[in-house]
Amino acid sequence: MASASGEYRNMVALASDIANYVLATGKLSREEFRRQKDLDAARKAGTAPAAIDAEGKAINPHIPQYIAQAPWYLDTGAPSLSHQRIPEYDRGADKLDNWYDRGAKAGPAAKKYRKGACENCGAITHKRADCLERPRKRGAKFTNKDIAPDEVIQEVASGYDAKRDRWNGYDPAEHKRVYEEYAAVEAERQRQREEEIDKQTTTDLAAVRKVAKAGKGEGGQDDDFGSSEDEDEDTDKYAEAADAVGQKLDTKTRITVRNLRIREDTAKYLINLDPSSAYYDPKTRSMRDNPMKNVTPEEAVFAGDNFYRFSGEAPAVQKLQLFAWNAAARGNDVHMNANPTQGQLLHHQYQKKKEELKDTTKVSILAKYGGEEYLQKAPKELLQGQTEEYVEFSRTGQVIRGKEKAKVRSKYPEDVYINNHTEVWGSWYDMSTGHWGFACCHSLTHLSYCTGEAGIEAAQASSAKNLLASSASVLAAAPIQPETPTSPPPPVRRESTDDRKKKAEELFSKRRLGEGELNLDESRLVDAIREEKDKKRKGRADEEEDPWAKKKKKHASEVTEEELEAYRMNRRMTEDPMANYVDPDDV
């Protein structure tokens, strides 16, 4: 026992030494850190006493360090768990019902105005800017009359809960009088309605009784009105016309206005459950867009609030309201609600004058500058090929719903014949000249007048082909006279018009060599083909000997039509499957 008590005292002394060292230096050496670890292990094992905090309470050694260690702003320098406990304070001064004494006055009011008091009421507890009384015409500072008593200034200590209590200081008795006033008004209204119902019911029942008694007297029956059951039936019959208790309008003239949705109808937000559909505003219970985009507004159960807003007479009312606002802004006495008839008449006159002025301006501009024919245009559907009709297609392109899409047409006017033409410009193409014209008269001039068949015959007669054919026939028909030495030389023949046209055709024609109809000499063509084959056999050897031989020969003379045809007939066709075929006879 003596050894155990001595070891216990040593451990306590060690703990105090470590704590003093840490407080003095602020850090542990390696030896002190090892001794601290041994001390913590001994405390957890129960062989060393638990640490004592500043309040004299033992600290459980098994508490984790992140709980036992105080943050830097609450660290006292000594081991303690006070930062984990709720701080104790005066709970009596922090009650939730502690509030200012409303309306408390500090004794009787003063007799004279005091310096520094409120200039309006005379109380010394506030200034004129903070005075809650009605501003007087002349304040208490100048009259020394009706000086208000001083208020009681209280200092209420509010804790954390009292500061954040939204109902702190609320007196339910203040709101009780509002309920009492409302109940009294409703009771009086109920009494008045009941009196009116009693008067109407009494008058109706008196008339019924009078008629019933007269009918019984004629039939010889008793003059008694009838049983109680008959009275109840008559009462129910005429009670339908009576006003119900609490209604403010007569039942015969009452017009019911439904501001709410009928409970049996489907709500707007349940028509389409897709989150990306039309937006629904729960505050105003409005859905402006159409929730079902694939259904036309005329066929949909609900097409959106905008459909009702812009249908019927709603746009006309909006235009009328806008006209009233603009007229009032310009100084005119027009109001939509105060005098709607006047506003509607003025708007009608304004529209009429506007149309007349518009027509007058249009006529004057057209009369001065012209251009009325350019105002006529085709409908928008024909110009752009677009319509507002809904068409639904499948994935394969089949029309599921709606009709087929309108064909896109040209934006230029079609089938418009001008200057007596029966065909449009560009319906005929002249191969010889490469120009477009009219097919009805073969005219190549735009905006020309149609000449019909006569124009076609004239165009054919004046073509270069016909001119060449006619000149050739004339030369062939002329007799060839043999030359004799004794005969005189023939006279020099002047060039005719046909000859000049022929030369002009040869010199200035746009045709390339080898195009059109070819007049080839058979003998020259055979010789040209033989020469072309010889060139292909010897061409490579000649070029190796003299590279400039080909170019020199090329510029030596002009190429004839027979040589060009021979080149075409013997050129190598790479795309021809028989291009590599060699005839055995040619080898």
pLDDT interval class at 294 (50, 70, 90)? confident
Return all residues near 173 (Cβ < 8 A) that are at least 6 apart. none
Lowest mean pLDDT among 137-141, 276-280, 355-359, 561-565: 561-565
- Supply 275's token pair: 């989150």
Lowest mean pLDDT among 251-265, 303-317, 400-414: 251-265
pLDDT digits (tens, 9 = 90+) for 526-573: 888 888 888 877 765 555 555 555 555 544 456 787 888 888 777 766
Q: How far apart are CA 435 and CA 443, in angstroms?
A: 10
Q: Which long-range contacts (CB under 8 A, 24 or more apart) does 173-178 make?
A: none
pLDDT for the residue numbered 96: 67
- How large is the average pLDDT for residues 101-124? 90
Structural domain boundaries in the chain: 2-84, 173-239, 268-368, 428-469, 522-586
Q: Which residues pair with 399 in a beta bridge?
A: 393
Helix axes 30-45 and 2-25, enclosed angle (nearest 10) = 130
- How large is the average pLDDT for residues 464-481? 56
Which residue from 405, 391, 440 is spatially nearest to 419, judged by alpha carbons? 440
- Does 257 have pLDDT greater than 60? no
pLDDT digits (tens, 9 = 90+) for 187-208: 999 999 999 888 876 555 555 5
